Structure 1
Amino acid sequence: MTAYDDLMEFNRDTQALGQVAGRLGWDQETMMPRGAAPQRAEEMAAMESILHARRIDPRVGDWLSAIDDKTLDEVGRANMRHIRRSFERTSKVPAALATRIAKLTSASQGIWAEARADNDFKAFAPTLAEVIMLKREEGQALAAGGDVYDAMLADYEPGTTGADLEAMFGSMRPVLSELRAAIREAKPVAPLSGEYDEGAQMKLTRQLAKTFGYDMTRGRVDKAVHPFSSGSGLDVRITTRTNPIDPFNCFYSTIHEVGHAAYEQNIHADHLLTPLGSGVSMGVHESQSRIYENQIGRSRAFTGWLFGQMKDAFGEFGVKDEDAFYATVNRVGDGFIRTEADELQYNLHVLLRFDLERALMSGDLQVSELEAAWNDRFEADFGFAVDKPSNGVLQDVHWPVGLFGYFPTYSLGNVYAGCLNEAMRQALPGLDADLAAGDTSAATTWLRENVQTHGGLYEPRDVIERASGKAPDEAPLLAYLKEKFSGIYNI
């Protein structure tokens, strides 16, 4: 066997162990007994210790040195790019620090959940301060004198910097704020009313998952507090949640997570358990979930079909026709929760978090100041005050589990989705007729062939540029939002 063959065989086992670790996380969110949290923290730490040791195994460095990338094909060179990047990154982080972070963030999740339930940020603040201290230490090791936040961002969106995002988000914010202000002056759209059986919600949500191409023979749908997708290849699981007065939360959380899961399920089979066998970045991943959820799932054509499915599932539910249902699905309204935000205001939630976490990582903002900073920024951006920590600084799980640098990829994913939607609509002029019949296959096939099948073969921005025909920027997303919401609100 060649050095490349040896390296790929070793990496395959590492990938498989990573999937097992991911399954522990899925279980923790869905089925694990509450009392098992302390032991699960030990288990997660042990797995991270093993994975860290494999990622910095001296043999990996020897194999990388022995391999001449020029002798490899495109797939081989891409594998080397990912393995080399991971090896160099992981080698910079002391094993003891990686283990401490894994153990703390697993335990932190339970502490956060209790503080959130009690609406007591002060009870969680010391743990969050410790998480930030360790993550900053990790970032400093990775940055090697460079920008700590950029080093952390590279874990989720290679090739993008905080300065890049600051410029992009800076151009988006005034446009979104202006459109939001105009909508607040327009005639409001009535929210959905009544109660909707949660069992019926789950039945319809599983139908929606299949409608968007989710392969249930290689996945499953469960309930969790915070919807997520987990796994890749032949085992890709999603979660959703139900609310008796808000079935859209269930349906669109499911469609969103199916976008993530479809990406993982549709990666070329040859890439299974290789560095190319997962989505290339969180921004590209989010582009799939957002285009499934919004540009397809909230389109006038598809909501017309969904209106009929809702009537079949729940009977008459107080919305008079398909046009009114489309407006209700896309209603812009006041709310505290990012994951429940309408398509227009969602990015304002993300921009808030992006600015705050950069300040936390730089030391410009202390944990003791975080709740007040959050509340001040929220009121400035949304026009009303946060009423309790669970609707504010405690609402997201990302910071408790150490995911700093993750939040901006949500908005970057929206930008990517805007670019992809523009190209997809040009390629599929008859798409609305299909969607009106509940047939998403043309859209999902286009996304599979142009984005998903590649997995990690190309760099993130290259994936979007190859699919859309131009370098990604925010203009298509902003144009789409203006056209859509101006039409709904007659502004």
Structure 2
Amino acid sequence: MSAYTELMAFQRQTEALGQVAGRLGWDQVTMMPDGAADQRAEEFAAMEGVLHARRTDPRIGAWLGKIEAGGLDDVAAANLRHIARSYERSQRVPAKLAEALAKLSSQAQRIWSEARAKEDVAAFLPALEEMIVLKREEATALANGGNAYDALLDDYEPDTSGDDVAATFDAMRPRLVALRDKVMGAEQPAPLSHDFDEQKQMRLARALAKTFGYDMSQGRLDKAVHPFSSGSGQDVRITTRTALNDPFNCIYSTIHETGHACYEQNIAPEHLLTPLGAGVSLGVHESQSRIYENQLGRSRAFTGWLFGQMKDAFGDFGVADEEVFFRTVNRLNKGYIRTEADEVQYNLHIMLRFDLERDVLAGKLEARDLEEAWNTRFEADFGYAVDRPSNGLLQDVHWSCGLWGYFPTYALGNVYAGCLYEALRVARPNLDTELAAGELAGATGWLREAVQVHGGLYKPRDLIERASGQAPGEAPLLSYLDSKFG
């Protein structure tokens, strides 16, 4: 048996155990009884201990040393690239730190959820303080003398630095603010004012997930406080949420998570339980969820079809026609919640979080400073004050579960989606006709073949360039937003 074969057999088991750990996380926020939280934290820590030991196993280094890279095909070379990168990074993080982070992440999510429900920042601060201490320790270990924030960002978007992200954001911010101010100065349609049965919302959500290509035989849709997608290959699960007077929350959360899930379901089967068997980066992942949700799901053509589905599901809900419905779906409004933000303002929410994260990792902000810093920055960026913690510091789950360096990938995903959408419209000249009929197979099929099927085969920016025919940049996204909203 060759060294490569032995290495991949070992890696397959590691990947399978990683899927089991992910299922623990899914269960925690969907099905787990409240009283199981402390035990679940121990289970997470134990699983992370096993995974960390496998990722740092000395045999990996020995196998890598025996493999002649020159004779490998593209798939084998990509597998080795991912394994070597994981091995090198994992060795820098002590096992006790990895286990402590896994345990705290489980505990802190519960603390965050309870604090959010009670609008009680003080109840969350001790867990947040401990998380910041551990993440700084991890970042220092991973950075190995380099930039701490970049070390964490590299977990989610390899080969990208905080300075790269900042430059992109600096280029985007003036045009986004100018467009926001222009559109907000015009008359906006009224929000929906009816109540929408939540069981009917979930039935429509399941139908929409299938319309966008989600395979329910290898997945399921449940409810969670914060929608997410979990798993890869043959078991990919999504969640959404409902609000009695806001069906768009459920509809577009579902379409968004369906984009993530279809990426994982559509990766080539031969990559299953290998390093190539998952999305290559969070930015690329977000490009799929955002293009499903926005360029396709909020388009004039598709909302015309969706209007009919809404009337079938809920009867007359107070919207006169397809054009008013399109404008209602895409209305700009003063709001606090990132996941509910319109396309124009969404990236401004990410920029706020990105700057706060960098300041925390640099030691310029502590946990006790974050609420005031958040509120001050929000009012400066959006022109009105945060009214309560669940609309401010406590709105996102990410920091409680250790996802520091993650937020920029949301905006990078929008940038990538802008590039892909330009190419999609060229490849599918009848796209609007298809969307108007509720036919998504053409668009999602193109995305499957251009992006999703490859999994982790290519590096993130290389994959977007291969798919779109251009190096990733913010110009296509800004042009799309100007055209749609301007």
With normalisation by structure 2, the TM-score equals 0.99
Distance 2:160 2:51 in 1: 26
Distance 2:115 2:290 in 1: 30
Letter of the structure 1 residue corresponding to residue 433 of structure 2: A
Letter of the structure 1 residue corresponding to residue 206 of structure 2: R
Within a 5 Å distance, the mapping from 1:63-462 to structure 2 comes to 63-462=63-462
Q: Which runs of 5+ in 1 are unaligned?
A: 487-491
SS state at 1:465 partner = helix
Letter of the structure 2 residue corresponding to residue 349 of structure 1: H
Letter of the structure 2 residue corresponding to residue 34 of structure 1: D
Pairwise CA distance, 1:342 = 1.0
Letter of the structure 2 residue corresponding to residue 359 of structure 1: D
Within a 5 Å distance, the mapping from 1:34-73 to structure 2 comes to 34-73=34-73
Pairwise CA distance, 1:344 = 1.1
Query: What are the superposed Cα offsets for residues 83-104 of structure 1, whole Å, 9 maximum, x if unpaired?
Result: 0000000001010111111111
Pairwise CA distance, 1:120 = 1.3
Distance 1:62 1:270 in 2: 25
Query: What are the superposed Cα offsets for residues 324-375 of structure 1, whole Å, 9 maximum, x if unpaired?
Result: 1000000100111111111111111111000000100110112111100000
SS state at 2:222 partner = strand
Pairwise CA distance, 1:275 = 0.2
Distance 2:385 2:444 in 1: 40
Distance 1:368 1:213 in 2: 44
Aligned position for 1:19: 19
Aligned position for 1:489: none
SS state at 1:345 partner = helix
Distance 1:153 1:305 in 2: 39
Pairwise CA distance, 1:52 = 0.2
Letter of the structure 2 residue corresponding to residue 215 of structure 1: D
SS state at 1:222 partner = strand
Distance 1:103 1:191 in 2: 42
Letter of the structure 2 residue corresponding to residue 213 of structure 1: G
Distance 2:110 2:196 in 1: 30
Pairwise CA distance, 1:442 = 0.5
Pairwise CA distance, 1:239 = 0.3
Pairwise CA distance, 1:251 = 0.5
Letter of the structure 2 residue corresponding to residue 321 of structure 1: D
Distance 1:206 1:331 in 2: 24
Identical positions, percent = 69
Distance 1:234 1:100 in 2: 30
Letter of the structure 2 residue corresponding to residue 220 of structure 1: R
SS state at 1:227 partner = coil
Letter of the structure 1 residue corresponding to residue 468 of structure 2: S
Distance 2:12 2:463 in 1: 24
1:465 maps to 2:465 = yes
Distance 2:190 2:181 in 1: 18
SS state at 2:17 partner = helix
SS state at 1:230 partner = strand
Distance 1:201 1:128 in 2: 35
Letter of the structure 2 residue corresponding to residue 217 of structure 1: S
Pairwise CA distance, 1:237 = 0.3
Distance 1:250 1:441 in 2: 22
Pairwise CA distance, 1:154 = 0.4
Pairwise CA distance, 1:478 = 0.3
With normalisation by structure 1, the TM-score equals 0.98
Distance 1:110 1:10 in 2: 34
Query: What are the superposed Cα offsets for residues 193-231 of structure 1, whole Å, 9 maximum, x if unpaired?
Result: 100011111111100000000000000000111000000
SS state at 2:344 partner = coil
Pairwise CA distance, 1:244 = 0.8
Pairwise CA distance, 1:68 = 1.3
Pairwise CA distance, 1:281 = 0.1
Distance 2:130 2:24 in 1: 23
Instruction: State which drifts further: 436-445 or 63-72.
Output: 63-72
Distance 2:287 2:262 in 1: 12
Distance 1:390 1:251 in 2: 22
Distance 1:42 1:96 in 2: 13
Moved over 6 A (4+): none
Pairwise CA distance, 1:115 = 1.2
SS state at 2:343 partner = coil
SS state at 2:250 partner = helix
Pairwise CA distance, 1:69 = 1.2
Distance 2:331 2:395 in 1: 22
Pairwise CA distance, 1:72 = 0.8
Pairwise CA distance, 1:379 = 0.5
Distance 1:105 1:450 in 2: 35
Q: Which runs of 5+ in 2 are unaligned?
A: none
Distance 1:115 1:217 in 2: 36
SS state at 2:231 partner = strand
Letter of the structure 2 residue corresponding to residue 263 of structure 1: Y
Instruction: State which drifts further: 106-115 or 456-465.
Output: 106-115
Pairwise CA distance, 1:114 = 1.4
SS state at 1:344 partner = helix
Pairwise CA distance, 1:286 = 0.1
Pairwise CA distance, 1:112 = 1.1
Q: How many residues align?
A: 486
SS state at 1:291 partner = helix
